[in-house]
Amino acid sequence: MAQVYTDADAPLTPLQSRTVAILGYGSQGHAHALNLRDSGVRVIVGARRGLSWERAQADGFAVHPIPDAVQHADVLMLLVNDEQQPRLYAEQIAPHLRAGHALGFAHGFTIHFGQITPPDDIDVFMVSPKAVGPQLRRLYVQGHGAPCLIAVHQDYTGEAKAIALAYARALGGTRAGVYETTFREECECDLFGEQAVLCGGVPALIRAAFETLVEAGYAPEVAYFECLHELKLITDLMYESGIRGMEFAISDTAHYGAMTRGPRIVDAHTREILRQILHEIQTGAFAREWILENLAGRPMFRALEQANAQHPIERVGEAIRARMAFQPKRDE
């Protein structure tokens, strides 16, 4: 079982005498910077000139080119996309590191798969909020927090874990629980969850189920409601009270159908595919594939993205959602 930390375990002291540089001011960077500042931490932002720079300035932060931010700060949190990190690190961060710096990540990919190799004389830690940026900010403002994972890769100063815990607390994470892990565990589990369930498995199942109903002659709009629209009702129930709580809330007809038909979908063959996907992640095969895909200019990524965008479920869903004026728009 993972060690769990709360406010009592995570004083802010390790950050109170340090300046934190948020490197990248996108969805996560914006939330990290605001939450840390509201927690009393001294924060600056490192960004490229453009929209992110202007947004950070509008939010009242001192904004610097990334090399300057590195030199002005004691704790660095790298919050640009995984595929952008190695080059950014090599060109704008590594030349300006000094002994005792603390370098933080929100995901273990580039460290675990050797895309970034920090020098031995700095701390390397991870704080990974289990929320997208707007939700991380919203929960903090409401007085709550998103759970976080923390890990330490290098502990040069002896304070790496204390810095990670203080950072997680400043994000609001200790209000919901901070769980200790490793870079390897977080990275491999995160990739597997994305690919097998959250962003890969579930959308693929939704499209296949939609296609099955439409091919059988059912109205696309009805198929959309039953295969996609109502998914939020079920995921909200599971989020709030687990799978068992969801099962208690649905009808007995739905519950019986789920228990008897679900295992026919996720059968021995599906489980073998899941093991193969995990093996590709563990061996680095997926990481190598993704790195090469980016080096080649993302031909497969763009082709698959275009095909998914043209799927009939997208056109049907767009028309249905347009009539739902009451529905809140996704946070940017």
Residues acting as catalytic residues: 107
Largest pairwise CA distance in the chain: 67
User: What are the C-alpha distances in Å from 16 to residues 34, 70, 166, 255?
Assistant: 16, 18, 9, 52
| Orientation angle between helical segments 285-295 and 299-309, nearest 10 degrees | 90
